[in-house]
Structure 1
Amino acid sequence: MGTAMLYLANSHRRVLFWVVVTVVALLTMVNWRIAQFEQLLQDGKVVRFALAPVDPRSIMQGDYMVLEYAIAQEVRAALPEGMTQGQLLLTLDSQKVARFVGIYRDQPKTAEQLTVDFRLRNHRVKLASNSFFFEEGQADHFSQAKFGEFRVSERGELLLVNLLDDQLQPL
């Protein structure tokens, strides 16, 4: 009986060890990703995308705004058949609003150009986020959004920061 208890205790210790290792690994990865987002918020270049109008209501999820980008049609027209992700080559105007130049394929770019990641899902161009959630009852306020303001990293990763009105002021 004593051997069985010792074996049980050893197996419990092994399980506990692996549970602790797994939890520490997960927490480390989550905190690493949070730190990357914080760095992007602090150091990322500001880029704004004009939005196309979309209905801001979901019965299942509450109030939110589906983000459709004005450049989406240009992007879809320029995509080679079968391409579902990559990088867009953009320029910024004086107000930091993105203008589509083409699909980036490792060609040289000018100092004024930047690249951002994109994916094509269900025939929709997806940048960082295709939705923006807000408090219930705020649909009228956020339906005024004309631009999405993002931070972009050197690698082309985007992070949505604000929705902006037609004067580029945060809502």
Structure 2
Amino acid sequence: MNDANKRTDASNVSNSALAWWQKRAVTITIAVLGLVGILTFISMNVMKYERHLASGDPVLLQLAPVDPRGFMQGDYMTLSYALERDVLDTLDKTGDRPKSTEGYVIVALDEHDVGHFVRLADSHQPNTLAANEKAIRYRLSNGSVKLATNAFFFQEGHANAFEAAKYGLFRVNDKGDPLLADLVNETFEVIDPTDKHKAKVNN
């Protein structure tokens, strides 16, 4: 009888250990699959970002006053764009400015690829654009226009170099989405504090 009880107890312990390891294996498998999914998502977004930078058309947008200030381990520069004011002024002329909406601002590019306000459009229709025009998506939320990111991050200690920024260099894709790539000074040179040879913006 005692031997039978011992065998039963041993069997129960063995089964409990097996069940624990099975649960452990399932938990680890779920965690690994979740991590793989997250890494895949991040990789796809990085690839999308790189394609946008590589294939987007260059457009320079004039900056409104900027303010460099410290942020965590590095620095960042808060940005706003003169074109945002043009959008708001045009919306105000229509009467009752909506609290939230989105659309496209059409800009004409000059010889330096600086975009100048032309008009607003409700949709992106490339066939209506002149050869030197580009449509850029904008969003209006709580009375503020957002074209793209309002912050540019850079390595700590380089704030002085970026105080010379006059333009944001965007890459605009075929859907009108702008992606901030660099900041540019008044002589249309990309600001790179680590490079002694300043590069002109590619036309």
TM-score, normalization: structure 1?
0.86
Cα deviation digits, residues 65-91 of structure 1 (max 9, x gap): 211101121112234412244432222
1:81 aligns with 2:81: no
- Larger mean CA deviation between 23-32 and 138-147 belongs to 138-147
* Higher relative helix content: 2
Compare CA radii of gyration and give the structure with the larger one.
Answer: 2
1:16 is matched with: 28
Note the residue ranges of structure 1 that are not aligned, 5 or more in a row. none
* Structure 1 residues 67 and 122: alpha-carbon distance in aligned structure 2, compared to 1, 3 A threshold: farther
2:60 is matched with: 48
1:100 is matched with: 117
TM-score, normalization: structure 2?
0.74
SS at match of 2:179: strand
1:32 is matched with: 44
d(CA) in 2 for partners of 1:26, 1:73: 38
**1:135 Cα offset (Å):** 2.8
**1:4 Cα offset (Å):** 1.5
- Larger mean CA deviation between 29-38 and 78-87 belongs to 78-87
1:141 is matched with: 161
Q: Give aligned-pair identity as a percent.
A: 35
* Higher relative strand content: 1
SS at match of 2:63: strand
Cα deviation digits, residues 98-154 of structure 1 (max 9, x gap): 122333212642143322233345654332221112233322221111111011111
d(CA) in 2 for partners of 1:148, 1:107: 22
- Larger mean CA deviation between 135-144 and 8-17 belongs to 135-144
- Larger mean CA deviation between 107-116 and 21-30 belongs to 107-116
d(CA) in 2 for partners of 1:57, 1:131: 11
2:3 is matched with: none
Question: How many matched pairs?
Answer: 171
d(CA) in 1 for partners of 2:141, 2:164: 26
